[in-house]
């Protein structure tokens, strides 16, 4: 079991007895068209009537992670051959 797997297992174990609603940015909020459905999920979880939500906030960064990294070549080299190599495409796209 990797360190990351151990952390995820510990987190799951700790949260088991605590009532909570898991919200994952990529699944619930990244696409603005999901905001209302996500808000409704939260309203339902809290047992309160849903309301229409909106925001004036706009994404400030580009969709390319590499644009915010000073040394992408070093990061890519460090990830090659590791369990995290699969994430290299996220850096370069």
- Residue of 82, 77, 86, 32 lying closest to 59 (CA atoms): 32
With beta carbons less than 8 A apart as the criterion, state whether 80 and 64 touch.
no
* Interacting residues of 93 by C-beta distance below 8 A, sequence separation 6+: 64, 65, 66
pLDDT digits (tens, 9 = 90+) for 36-89: 999 999 999 999 999 999 988 777 776 677 777 889 889 889 989 999 888 887
pLDDT at 51: 97
Band of the pLDDT at 6, cuts 50, 70, 90? confident
Beta-carbon neighbour count of residue 38 at 10 Å? 17
Q: What is the mean pLDDT of residues 22-39?
A: 91
- Residue of 58, 59, 23 lying closest to 39 (CA atoms): 23
Name the pTM for this structure.
Answer: 0.59
Distance between the two ends of the chain, CA-based, in angstroms? 29
């Amino acid at each position: 079991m990797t360190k990351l797997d151990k952390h995820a297992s510990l987190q799951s174990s700790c949260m088991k007895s605590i009532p909570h609603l898991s919200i994952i940015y990529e699944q619930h909020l990244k696409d603005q068209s999901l905001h209302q459905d996500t808000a409704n999920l939260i309203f339902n979880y809290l047992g309160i009537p849903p309301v229409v939500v909106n925001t004036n906030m706009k994404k400030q960064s580009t969709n390319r992670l590499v644009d915010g990294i000073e040394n992408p070549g070093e990061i890519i080299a460090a990830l090659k051959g590791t369990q995290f190599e699969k994430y290299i495409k996220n850096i370069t796209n």
